[in-house]
Copies of this chain bind each other. A is one copy, B any other.
Amino acid sequence: MYRVYLSSRYAGTVSDETPERRPRLNRERVLARAVELADEIGVDALTMRRLAHEFDVVPMALYKHVANKEDLLEGMVDTIIAEIPPGVAGLAWREAVTQRIHAARRALQRHPWSRAVIESRTTKTMAVLDYLESFTAIFLGAGFSADLTHHALHAIGGRVWGFTQELFDDSSTEAPALPPEVQAAQFEAMAQRYPSILAVATASPHDETTIVGRGCDDEFEFDFALDLLLDGIEKRRADGWTSARR
C-alpha cells in the first residue's frame, strides 16, 4: 500500500531506478498550463478536473495554488496581460495609443478566450490597472484634460485590449456542405428577406485586390473603427471640448 501510493507519485517510467520525481506544482506552473490548455481546448472545456489531469494530480491539489476557479481565471488573465510588451517612449499621443493597442491586440489574439474572460471579470487585477494606467498616462501626458480623457477611454472601451465589438461572428464554422439546391434555395430566401444584408455582405470580396471568398479582414475593420474614434477624439481636443454643460 505504501508502495502503491509512492508509485503514483513518479512520472511515466515503470522501472523504479532513477525514479525522476515529478516537480512540485506552484501557482505559476498551474496558471501557465491553464493558459495553454485554454488555447488548445477552449475556456469552456477548461475544468479544474481537466487541468488537474494535465499534471497527473487529483483535482483538489490545484486548490493549494488557486483559491477557486474564479481566482484561476483571474490569474490566467494576469498571465497573458503580462505578455503585452511595454510601450515605447517619445511618440506622439496618437502613435503611442495606436502602438500600445496593437501590441495588446497581438498579445491577446493568441488567446481567443481572453475577450470573454476579461470582460466577464468585474474586479480589476493589478496587471489590468497597470496597463490602463500606462494607457491613461499617454493622454494626460499629451495635454488632454482629465475630462476628455475620461470620455475618450470610455469611447475606446474594450478596444484598448484590441478587441473588436463583433456583430456578425464570421469565425463560425460553416454548415457542413449542404446539397447545392438547398444552398441555392437558402440564398434565394435570404435575398428576399435580407436584401440589404446580402448586398453588404457580398460587397467586400468584390474588391479586385482582395482574395475572392475571403470574408472581412478583422485587422482592417479594427483599424478602420479605431481611426474613426481617434479622429473624433483629436477633433474634440482641438475644439477644446468639455462635458461641463451636459
Contacts and interface: CB of A to CB of B under 8 A. Distances in A.
Nearest to A154: B221
Interface string A208-232: 1110000011001100110111011
Contact of A233 (B146, B149, B193, B228): B228
B207 A154 contact: no
Given A209-B245, A224-B151, A167 B158 contact: yes
Looking at chain A, what size class is its interface with the partner chain?
A: 35 or more
Chain A's interface: helix, strand, loop or mixed, by majority? Answer: helix
Contact of A243 (B137, B156, B207): B207
A213 B225 CA distance: 33
A83 interface: no
A238 interface: no
Interface string A20-49: 000000000000000000000000000000
A147 B227 CA distance: 17
Interface string A117-147: 0011011100001101100110110000111
Interface of A: 116, 119-120, 122-124, 129-130, 132-133, 136-137, 139-140, 145-147, 149-151, 153-160, 163-169, 172, 193-197, 199-204, 207-210, 216-217, 220-221, 224-225, 227-229, 231-233, 235-236, 243-246
